[in-house]
Amino acid sequence: MASLSERYRVDHGRKFRLKNWDPKDTAHFKSEKHGEKLLVRGVERLIQLQEKLYAQDQWAVLVVIQAMDAAGKDGAIKHVMSGVNPQGCDVHSFKQPSSEDLDHDFLWRTTKHLPERGHIGIFNRSYYEEVLIVRVHNELLEHEHLPPPLVSKSIWKQRFEDINTFERHLRRNGTVVLKFFLNVSKAEQKRRFLRRLDDPAKNWKFSMADLSERERWNDYMHAYQEMIEGTAAPHAPWYVVPADNKWFTRLVVAEAIIEALEELKPAYPKLDSAKLKELKAARAALEKGRHRR
């Protein structure tokens, strides 16, 4: 039986239709309690793998999370990465670009925050905003100071090509790219918005802009469909993760990251004979009480 990550991975070259991916799906899992128990085990395994990744200092992992508002991006990051050594994990959230960002190419502001070797980097939103919100709100292109001849009907296809080349470059240089679209339904988003309005502790999460973006739901779904179809690749796969049940979303994301790390086979560095000899001498000095600070 295919793993959860295989079940929700978009195969390169296969025709993709977002409407065929059910936001309510929970695979063969019927119990939230069972799913949460498996997540605890997954987090424990992730901690072990991340420690070896950090010690080995060869590979980096970039996790990109994209979704509509209230799909559970923050919660997925919090629960999946809980317990991971913060020294080897970096989270960056990308909001509205600054004037400096707009004076550079569209990949510039995120490239500055790519994870270093041995680290897991998480992008809460990313350079993909440039083919999502900027596509839905075409007027935003005017703020990017592009030469007019470059703003053509082909710009989105060209940006897909640029992203594919960029992600291939990352993989060839030791960064594994994993991309997750948290696929929440419009009905579930409405329920979560209402809960935010009803709960004083969650009021701060709500913005009137969320409603205006919700009105463009169909435009966003079209943009997501073309984005995923245009940028799903063996070296940087997309996972379309059902997001109506938060516990299941977190389970799928955790398994995909774990499987990617296991494929890398991270291991603690092997010490050469000189280093082993040095450690032996250090032990002898400590045991004889001759070690000095």
| Other CB atoms within 10 A of residue 144 CB | 17
pTM of the predicted model over 0.75: yes
The Cα–Cα gap between 50 and 72 comes to 23
The Cα–Cα gap between 99 and 96 comes to 10
- Side chain identity, residue 49: L
Radius of gyration for the chain, computed over Cα atoms and rounded to the nearest angstrom: 22
Averaged over 245-250, what is the pLDDT? 97
pLDDT exceeds cutoff 70 at 189: yes
Averaged over 228-254, what is the pLDDT? 97
Averaged over 151-174, what is the pLDDT? 97
At 27, give phi and psi (nearest 5°). Answer: 55, -130
pLDDT top residue among 290 and 40? 40
> Tens digits of per-residue pLDDT, 253-286?
999 999 999 999 999 998 888 988 999 998 888 8
CATH topology of domain 4-287: Rossmann fold (3.40.50)
Averaged over 79-108, what is the pLDDT? 95
CA 92 from chain centre, in angstroms, equals: 10
Q: How far is CA 84 from CA 37, 44, 138, in A?
A: 18, 9, 39
| Other CB atoms within 10 A of residue 128 CB | 25
Q: What angle do CA 195, 196, 202 make, to 5 degrees?
A: 130
**Which pLDDT score, from 0 to 100, does residue 290 have?**
56
> Tens digits of per-residue pLDDT, 190-224?
999 999 999 999 899 888 988 999 999 999 999 99
CB 66 within 8 A of CB 127: no
CA dihedral for 181, 58, 110, 12, sign (positive or negative): negative
